[in-house]
Amino acid sequence: MNRLPLPIILIISGFIVMISLACNLSGNASTSLPQISPGVTVIVVTATSPAVDLTPTPAQIIQPTETPAPSPTTPPPGPTATSGPQCTVLQSLNLRNGPGTAYNPPLGALEAQTRLVPIGYEPEGVPGGAWVQVQDPDGRTGWVSAGADFVECNVDLTTLPRVDVGPPPPPPPPKTKNSDPDGNFPDNLDFEADFNSRFFVRMFAHDTDVGDEDGDGITEVIFTVENEDGDKVYEHSEETAGFCVFGGGEPDCNPWVFEDFQYKWTSGGDPVEEGTYELRVQVFMESEDEGDWGYEVEINLD
């Protein structure tokens, strides 16, 4: 009897095993796997899913969006007169809050060659002269003299708009500081000088041989003021008490003359300037005696 070849035997055995397994599984789901006959090789193939790396790549990472903090606002720079209308300071001068030297105190000083932006124009300042309103490189707005000695501009200043500015506050009256009197004093003359910033000076005087009241026995008092160069800047004669350098009398003396926001020696006259003056006082008496003396007086306008 001929034997079947070994490969055919293996194939038949495999079919038998598969049929047996199918029958056992259909009959009892809990039945254990059958025993595999010796000599039969069972190849079990296990399908596994490939491993997946769930770590996101840098390109897959969504970074949180940050709103940048706002940078601090930088204030705009002050005006620079590099083009367009401009004025150049020719010598050091004050920047004032109004058109004129009467606007005190100054806002500050400007050096020569400072460039300014012209804004407005005033042909008649206080106390006088033309003035131009400007902005300096620091952004300050003020006024400088428009005189050709002070600024040079590339624009006709008269074409700039007029700017309304309130009047300046009146300055304080001149302050005085006097020396002791030096001169000729009759024995029968009793006098006292009252120096006052409001009315400069008043002289109390009387002849002791006549009476004790102010003005007794006095016929005239003459006041003369000279500057440091010896030039006479003021003179006034009083014949009745009180004897005030600017006139007036009992009970009040006339104050300094104040015009065009300046203190003056006389109405329409020259303004009072700081400096040292010589005040001469001459007293004429009914007895024909005369007193004649002087004071050195410092006048300060601050």
What percent of the chain is helix, strand and coil (3-state, nearest 5)?
10, 35, 55
Question: Where are the domain boundaries for CATH 2.30.30.40 in the chain?
Answer: 87-159
Identify residue 221 by its one-letter amino acid code: V
Which residue spans of the chain are classified as CATH 2.60.40? 175-300
Does the pLDDT value for residue 131 go beyond 80? yes
For residue range 161-189, what is the model confidence (pLDDT) as tens digits?
999 999 998 889 999 999 999 999 999 99
> pLDDT tens, 252-298?
899 999 988 889 999 999 899 999 999 999 999 999 999 999 999 99
The domain 87-159 having CATH identifier 2.30.30.40: the answer here is yes
> Does residue 83 carry a pLDDT above 70?
no
Listed as own residue / partner, the contacts of 236-241 with beta carbons closer than 8 Å and 24 or more positions apart are 240/215, 241/204, 241/205, 241/213, 241/214, 241/215
Quick one: CA torsion of 98, 99, 102, 106, rounded to 10 degrees? 50
> Domain 175-300 is of which CATH architecture?
Sandwich (2.60)
